[in-house]
Amino acid sequence: MLEHLALALLMALAALVCVVLVPPLRRALLTRGLFATYRKVLPQMSDTERDALQAGTVWWEGELFRGNPDWGKLLAYPKPVLTADEQAFLDLQVVEACRLVDDWNVTHERHDLSPDAWRYIKEKGFLGMIIPRRYGGLEFSAYAHSQVVTRLSTRSSALAVSVMVPNSLGPAELLLHYGSEAQKDYYLPRLARGLEVPAFALTSPWAGSDAAAIPDCGIVCRGPWGGREVVGMRVTWDKRYITLAPVCTLLGLAFRLFDPERLLGGEVDVGITCALVPHDHPGVEIGRRHFPLNAMFMNGPTRGRDVFMPLDFIIGGPKMAGQGWRMLMECLAAGRSISLPSSNTGMAQLTVRAVGGYARVRSQFKTAVGRFEGVEEALTRMGAYTYLMDAARKMTAGAVDLGEKPSVVSAIAKYHVTERGRQVVNDGMDVIGGKGICLGPSNFLGRAYQQMPISITVEGANILTRSLIIFGQGALRCHPYLLREMQAAQNPDSGQGLKDFDHALWSHAAYTVRHGLRALALGLTGSHFVAVGAAVAPETRRYYQQLTRFSAAFSFLSDIALLVLGGSVKRREKLSARLGDILSEMYLMSAALKRFEDDGRPAADAPLLHWALWDSMYRAQQAFDGVIANFPNRFIGRFLHRAIFPWGHPYVVPSDDLGHQAARLLIEPSPTRDRLTAETYLPDSLDEPLGAIEAALVATLEAEPVEARIREAERQGRFAGDPVANVRDIARAAVAAGVIGAEEFALMERRNALRDAVVRVDDFPFDLGAAAGQGA
Ligand SMILES: Cc1cc2nc3c(=O)[nH]c(=O)nc-3n(C[C@H](O)[C@H](O)[C@H](O)COP(=O)(O)OP(=O)(O)OC[C@H]3O[C@@H](n4cnc5c(N)ncnc54)[C@H](O)[C@@H]3O)c2cc1C
């Protein structure tokens, strides 16, 4: 009986294999039915969704997605470098711009950059870094642009954002790609020299994240322009949150264009259109400001009602009417790769530099606070995350310089660098206690803390980016077969569609099975036998192997998830977010490993690298678990768990010992600390908070051996009964008791004076300066 059953099963299997291996048979017997079902369940995609999903290029994330990354390829991407001109600009003009800005004056007293600072950044071309030289711009690489924004962000958010926004998605970028020659020749030289200040207005009160739903509209009609009647547009808009709008001279405006009389000869609903409107064009309302969390970059609403403008205002002229959304989606990746990743890395570098120093200078319980294990935990995260953020920022800017428009990678960088940045600043605030809480000229972190949510919200709010974009767009763009299956299903020629679908579907099936088997094999062997295929630092070889394992498991898991969830994956945001987390952690780990190689494998930096990688591996494992534990089908969930983690969970949190090594790097001067905070603007004045910390750190280290002797004498009871033997004045008791000499006393006094300057917080008159015109 059993023999008969086995024989029948074997024959059924053989028949199935025959069917699968003979395409005409396979199409007729298997694929046709699946094709019909797939066409029925395939979710409808709007044009704007399609434009968003298909925009940009696939880069390194494609390798990670497809299950078997080629590490040689990663390490062969050139290390981003600056030209001599770019380096000189960083050393001179950027430093001078930082010097011209006093953040307290900007955020509390003036509520704006000073006229000198504005003049300087306009004249020196800061607003035209992405504009080619032939138009008078600086034509910087994406990497140089990122370096500039990073450094400015260590000084003042108003300064950084005022520079960042004109170089991100907006008039200059759109003109460069889509502008008519006349528009480029007129506007680009003016933008490059700061004669025009641009803003770009997309967001409306009704449409924030869902920006394609903007109700702002233009109606094609005839109207007076230049003394005669022309075909133009009557545009009505109500925009908010627009950076630089209050001071802009050139407003980029997105609205939906309608042509009810078909004067343009096409559809009535022409689509989203981008125009450039001079600020003094009749009917344009700008000038009012929002007040975004005490950040003083210009930000405000703009409105207009039935404002007539010629079709020439459309970027690219009338032929580009209706192309606005595609234009925006195509250009989004470059700016998103640079602006927020750079500004948040800048804030993190400042935090690490200043808080690390503070933690050594500030002492409680007769110990530098940075030496307490609890504080060490925070310092470790700060250091390792800053290392990781900087690596991701550089690698992503490098991709843009390679000609990529890395849409998925830019979303990963935006989300994860800003989230890690928030953690670094929060940790920094905890370490410095009340010093961070009392605002004033000597507070170096309070403003960054206040303004962190801005980074989280802009350029694609983080929750949406994580839940909808990273995996959603990643799957469609990186998967070798998914898009081909969808395109085949939508082919109006159903015969050809079936053929293409058949090919994609069965290749897809083979791909899934292959990665399933690889994931299991790599899990069983702990990925020890993976050939890395590139010359890597020996101490990092295992990470490449682990990443290959993650990649194979991710490919398998995401395929099964897509198979089971189908079109509903779009609504299952929690699962989609966790799948995106795995892809993101793999990208961040790749960036950190590449940084280590690009930096020349500095052994002293290794604790930061190791901690960041263990943390990322652990996070990736948690994300796998989150998907598997919540898999809609329990049975498949259990099967996935066995296939991916056959021996249980191999990844643990980074060790305390490693954390200790990493934290120590932050609290004393070293080449590692300098590399980690390389872009931080370091003022040399002791009146500046960071200048004082730098000097106090050196003085603290010099005084530590003396202090150790004093403490030893104290333990021996040498100062018993001396009223000055207190936490502040003990050096006086020590010199009086002959424990230290005059020179050592001077060392202690200098340390104490600098420490005083560092730990001091500001106080104000009762009305906080309102009567003197300096209220917040
Ligand atoms: C300081 C500042 C500067 C800005 N500068 C500009 C500018 O220069 N030009 C411009 O056009 N705009 C600008 N913006 C607008 C910015 O891009 C939007 O704020 C952003 O797109 C989010 O829109 P919203 O604030 O209306 O939030 P909402 O869209 O109301 O979102 C609220 C929450 O819901 C989440 N969410 C929404 N949809 C989904 C979804 N499908 N799945 C999961 N979560 C979702 C979001 O992540 C967010 O957490 C700026 C905003 C600020 C605050």
Residue in 274, 464, 473 to alter for ligand 1 test, most ligand atoms within 8 A of Cβ: 464
What pLDDT is stored for residue 52 in this prediction?
A: 79
| Average confidence score pLDDT of the chain | 95
What pLDDT is stored for residue 8 in this prediction?
A: 65
For ligand 1, what atom is nearest to the CA of residue 199?
A: 8
Residues 6+ apart with CB under 8 A from 215: 204, 206, 207, 256
- State whether the beta carbon of 299 lies less than 6 angstroms from ligand 1: yes
For the chain, helix, strand, coil in percent to 5 are 60, 10, 30
Structure letter (DSSP) for residue 105:
I
- Per-residue pLDDT averaged across 415-420, rounded? 98
Atom 48 of ligand 1: nearest residue by CA position = 461
- Gap between the Cα atoms of 660 and 442, Å rounded: 29
For ligand 1, what atom is nearest to the CA of residue 297?
A: 1
| pTM of the predicted protein model | 0.96
- Gap between the Cα atoms of 37 and 146, Å rounded: 48
List the structure tokens of 533.
């295929």
409 closest CA partner among 44, 16, 37, 60: 60
- State whether the beta carbon of 294 lies less than 6 angstroms from ligand 1: no
What pLDDT is stored for residue 22 in this prediction?
A: 82
pLDDT band for 566, please (50, 70, 90 cuts): confident
- Per-residue pLDDT averaged across 666-690, rounded? 97
- State whether the beta carbon of 292 lies less than 6 angstroms from ligand 1: yes
Helix and strand tally (H, E) in the chain?
32, 8
- Gap between the Cα atoms of 382 and 351, Å rounded: 8
Amino acid at 122: K
Atom 30 of ligand 1: nearest residue by CA position = 208
Core vs surface per residue 288-306: b (16+ CB within 10 A) or e: ebbebeebbbbbbbbbbee
For ligand 1, what atom is nearest to the CA of residue 209?
A: 29
Residues 6+ apart with CB under 8 A from 635: none
Q: What angle do CA 33, 34, 40 make, to 5 degrees?
A: 95
- State whether the beta carbon of 349 lies less than 6 angstroms from ligand 1: no
Alpha helices in 647-741 (DSSP H): 656-664, 671-676, 689-715, 730-736
Catalytically active residues, by annotation: 459
What pLDDT is stored for residue 54 in this prediction?
A: 79
Longest dimension (CA), the chain: 103
Report whether 216 contacts 239 (CB < 8 A): yes
498 closest CA partner among 27, 115, 50: 27
What pLDDT is stored for residue 776 in this prediction?
A: 45
Q: How far does the centroid of ligand 1 lie from the alpha carbon of residue 299, in Å?
A: 14
Mapping DSSP to helix (H, G, I), strand (E, B) and coil, where does residue 535 land? Answer: coil
- State whether the beta carbon of 207 lies less than 6 angstroms from ligand 1: no
pLDDT tens-digit profile of 596-654? 999 999 999 999 999 999 999 999 999 999 999 999 999 999 999 999 999 999 999 99
With a cut of 80, say whether residue 734 has pLDDT above it.
Answer: yes
- Gap between the Cα atoms of 731 and 709, Å rounded: 10
Report whether 451 contacts 157 (CB < 8 A): yes
- State whether the beta carbon of 557 lies less than 6 angstroms from ligand 1: no
Greater pLDDT, 534 or 435: 435
Structure letter (DSSP) for residue 492:
S
- State whether the beta carbon of 577 lies less than 6 angstroms from ligand 1: no
- State whether the beta carbon of 452 lies less than 6 angstroms from ligand 1: no
- Per-residue pLDDT averaged across 174-201, rounded? 98
What pLDDT is stored for residue 299 in this prediction?
A: 98
pLDDT band for 88, please (50, 70, 90 cuts): very high
- State whether the beta carbon of 457 lies less than 6 angstroms from ligand 1: yes
pLDDT tens-digit profile of 103-151? 999 999 999 999 999 999 999 999 999 999 999 999 999 999 999 999 9
Count the residues in the chain.
776
pLDDT tens-digit profile of 203-244? 999 999 999 999 999 999 999 999 999 999 999 999 999 999
pLDDT tens-digit profile of 422-435? 999 999 999 999 99
Q: How far does the centroid of ligand 1 lie from the alpha carbon of residue 241, in Å?
A: 9
- Per-residue pLDDT averaged across 33-48, rounded? 81
pLDDT tens-digit profile of 48-74? 877 877 788 999 999 999 999 999 999
List the structure tokens of 380.
């470790």
First to last CA, the chain: 89
* Orientation angle between helical segments 482-489 and 494-524, nearest 10 degrees: 160
For ligand 1, what atom is nearest to the CA of residue 463?
A: 47
Q: What is the dihedral of CA 81, 85, 88, 93, to 10 degrees?
A: -120
List the structure tokens of 156.
């003042």
Residue in 202, 290, 293, 458 to alter for ligand 1 test, most ligand atoms within 8 A of Cβ: 458
- State whether the beta carbon of 297 lies less than 6 angstroms from ligand 1: no
pLDDT band for 770, please (50, 70, 90 cuts): confident
Q: How far does the centroid of ligand 1 lie from the alpha carbon of residue 462, in Å?
A: 9
Burial-class residue 248 by CB neighbours within 10 Å (0-12, 13-18, 19+): buried
Place of tokens 């800048």: 346
Greater pLDDT, 647 or 534: 647
Q: Categorise residue 287: left if φ over 0, alpha if ψ from -120 to 50, beta otherwise.
A: left
With a cut of 50, say whether residue 579 has pLDDT above it.
Answer: yes
- Per-residue pLDDT averaged across 512-533, rounded? 96
Q: How far does the centroid of ligand 1 lie from the alpha carbon of residue 573, in Å?
A: 17
- Gap between the Cα atoms of 230 and 133, Å rounded: 35
Residue in 241, 462, 468, 578 to alter for ligand 1 test, most ligand atoms within 8 A of Cβ: 241
Q: Which helix (H) or strand (E) holds 647?
A: none
What pLDDT is stored for residue 45 in this prediction?
A: 74
Report whether 453 contacts 463 (CB < 8 A): no
What pLDDT is stored for residue 775 in this prediction?
A: 52
